Amino acid sequence: MDLRQEFVEGMARAATFVSVITTDGPGGQQGVTVSSMTSVSADGEAPSLLVCIHHKSPAAAAILQNRAFCANLLNAAQQGHSDIFSGRDKAEIGRFDRVEWAAGQAGQPVLAEAAASFECTLKTAMLWETHYVMIGQVTGVTLSDQPDALLYGQRAYRRAVDIG
């Protein structure tokens, strides 16, 4: 195996939570499934988080133009949402027509029943080889009564279980 194959295999062994990053504004309404969303800090002027999105994704271009996005942390029952926004589900109907959502306080698409949704103002973006690394300052949080996050690891959807 070469270094890339070993890296991909190693990362496949890591379980990460699944998020759909959505945006709306002058650059259009877009959404994409990612496994690379994480907290940067709860402190500072406002909380912040980081997302990584492929540079060819229409969502990346829209976020750069809209200067805002919503990171929707999917709940454990929202595998279908992940498939819709990742492109795995090839239906002809538009992505936003197939899920329940509402405009949040800042106008960004908040997916109904997501475990948590974080509306953000884009503060910085850097192109690193094939992906934009984007940091957003959180302007609002929506919490549902579905707190269990959808996970992805070992090339399959997973749920967290208590081992304790």
pLDDT in tens, 29-58: 999 999 999 999 999 999 999 999 999 999
Q: Which domains are assigned to the chain?
A: 3-159 (2.30.110.10)
Q: How confident is the model at residue 151 (pLDDT cuts 50, 70, 90)?
A: very high
**Distances, alpha carbon 74 to alpha carbons 38, 80, 82, 130, 140, in Å:** 13, 10, 8, 25, 17
**68-100 residues labelled b (16+ CB within 10 A) or e (exposed):** bbbbbbbbbebbebbebbbeeeeeeeebbeebe
pTM confidence score: 0.95
Q: Lowest mean pLDDT: which of 10-19, 57-66, 124-133?
A: 10-19
- Which pLDDT score, from 0 to 100, does residue 124 have? 98
Q: Lowest mean pLDDT: which of 39-53, 69-83, 87-101, 122-136?
A: 87-101
pLDDT at 91 over 80: no
- Which pLDDT score, from 0 to 100, does residue 59 have? 97
